Amino acid sequence: MTPVTIRVARDGELEIARAIDDDACTLYADAGMPIVASGAFFERETERWARSLREGRLLFACNTEGEPVAFASFGTLDGLPFLFQLSTRRAWMQRGIGRRLVERVQRWAVREGSLWLSTYDHMSFNRPFYERLGFTRVDESECGPELRELVADETSALPSPEQRIVMRHFLP
């Protein structure tokens, strides 16, 4: 596992998160699903990340030089812990960094007993990654109204909308 330091993002660092996510999203383009970060959905997504930052819920994983190479944005939907985004720069992927960020978010969520997220079902670096961390797919009927609204927003703006799923991990 690559040594990283996890820290809370500071005021003015939202653009670093966006740059990390833009780099990570090039994987989707390589898979034939380019994600263009523009429009109303991405404005709402950026606001969720900004709210996470204000609440101390945007974390960076930094390399030994202190450079952020990955981030996690989290908060609540329907009063339950929710992982809004997990992104790692491509050059730093498959080194256990994303896993460490998710584990940190899980520790934050443990009091509520679960952590929720939405992701792609068909991408090897999405659903299978989260399954290895203990997440399972959730039927839409189990989702609250805020989560259903978020998924509807995602499916209207992102490629391959039929492949968007919700997952949950029950925490001890």
Q: Give the per-residue pLDDT at 38.
A: 65
Q: Where are the beta strands (DSSP E) in 45-160?
A: 58-62, 68-77, 80-88, 114-120, 136-138
* Number of domains making up the chain: 1
Q: Give the per-residue pLDDT at 35.
A: 78
Q: What is the CATH number of the domain that holds 136?
A: 3.40.630.30
Cα–Cα dist 69/136, whole Å:
27
Backbone angles phi, psi at 132, to 5 degrees: -60, -20
Instruction: Report helix, strand and coil shares of the chain as percent, to nearest 5.
Output: 45, 25, 30
Per-residue pLDDT in tens (0 to 9) along the chain, 172 residues: 789 999 999 999 999 999 999 999 998 888 887 777 667 788 999 999 999 999 999 999 999 999 999 999 999 999 999 999 999 999 999 999 999 999 999 999 999 999 999 999 988 778 999 999 999 999 989 999 999 999 999 988 886 888 899 999 999 8
Cα–Cα dist 108/97, whole Å:
17
Q: Give the per-residue pLDDT at 33.
A: 77
Q: Label the pairing between strands 68-77 and 80-88.
A: antiparallel
**Which range of residues forms the domain containing residue 31?**
5-170
Residue 14 near residue 22, CB atoms below 8 Å: no
**What is the end-to-end Cα distance of the chain in Å, rounded?**
24
Cα–Cα dist 134/120, whole Å:
16
